[in-house]
A and B are shown apart, each in its own frame.
Chain A
Amino acid sequence: MAETAEPQDLPDARAAADALDRAARVAHAAHAQGWRWVRIYLTGWAIGSVGLILLIGLGGAVGMVVGVAAWAVLVTVGVLWARGQGAVVAATKFRLGIGSGLWSAAYVAILALGVAIRPGAAYWVPAALVSTVPLLLAGWLPARRPHPVS
């Protein structure tokens, strides 16, 4: 960088404080934007999971067809929307990976148990809510701050 600041361009105390404040504000804004979509994505997935499991468990054959079809649409829209996001915070891949992995395990276990014992709403409603736990934890557990800006 050829550019060198002239002495008159160098910040005094007030200018330095302003620069620090501005740096903190933009750093916070970019970080918040990167987190916001991860939270929306995982929360939307959690809400969809409740609907999917209730439709499969309580909706009979029609419910299963409707649930799986709606799920396919939701996943497609969600993935396309997530791909369009322009700020990615450091732990995004980890959070999406751990959330989706644990959700998949919970989903398979809930369906396997439900198909085996054919329970009623007393099983499917809490099971549907339990399936949201990994997604909500992955989306909402506070993140470690990676940098002292802010």
Chain B
Amino acid sequence: MTDTHPRHRLADALNSPVRLSIVAALSRVEKADFKVLRDTIEVSDSALSKQLTMLEDAGYVSISKGRSGRRPRTWVRLSRHGRDALDRHLAALQDIATLTPPTTMP
């Protein structure tokens, strides 16, 4: 069996829509804080926290804690590894999307 189908190039960690959204959102900023990610992706605090931990464990993002005045602040950055994985994942999705054009339901 050969691994020629583009699905073999998908990153497992990015098959979750929320994790893909997090990494995609971070791809066009230097860093974003927890609140911006939560509001942009429209998920709960707990769901975002869980997915960020998974992405951090995979080495896709780095998380740093700070303060803005009295307010605690969590900053998230996309790592080089995460950016490379996103590039490969998006390229694979693009290939999958063009393999069989979506059909319109009647």
Contact = CB atoms under 8 A, between A and B. Distances in A.
Contacts of A83: 68-69
A149 B54 contact: no
A20 B97 CA distance: 9
Interface in B12-28: 12-13, 15-17, 20-21, 24-28
Interface string A1-38: 10111000111111011011011101111110110000
Contacts of B72: none
Nearest to B58: A1
Nearest to A93: B30
A89 interface: yes
B36 interface: yes
B29 A31 contact: yes
A86 B29 CA distance: 10
B19 to A, nearest CB: 9
A142 interface: no
Contacts of B21: 22-23, 26
B30 A92 contact: yes
A120 interface: no
Given A19-B20, A30-B28, A149-B86, A13 B99 contact: yes
A52 B102 CA distance: 59
B12 A26 contact: no
Interface in B44-74: 54, 57-58, 68-69
B76 to A, nearest CB: 10
Contact of B36 (A5, A22, A30): A30
A24 to B, nearest CB: 7
B17 A5 contact: no
Contacts of B41: 26
Lowest 3 A-B CB distances belong to which pairs? A86-B33, A23-B24, A86-B36
Interface of B: 7, 10, 12-13, 15-17, 20-21, 24-37, 40-41, 54, 57-58, 68-69, 83, 86-87, 90, 93-94, 96-102
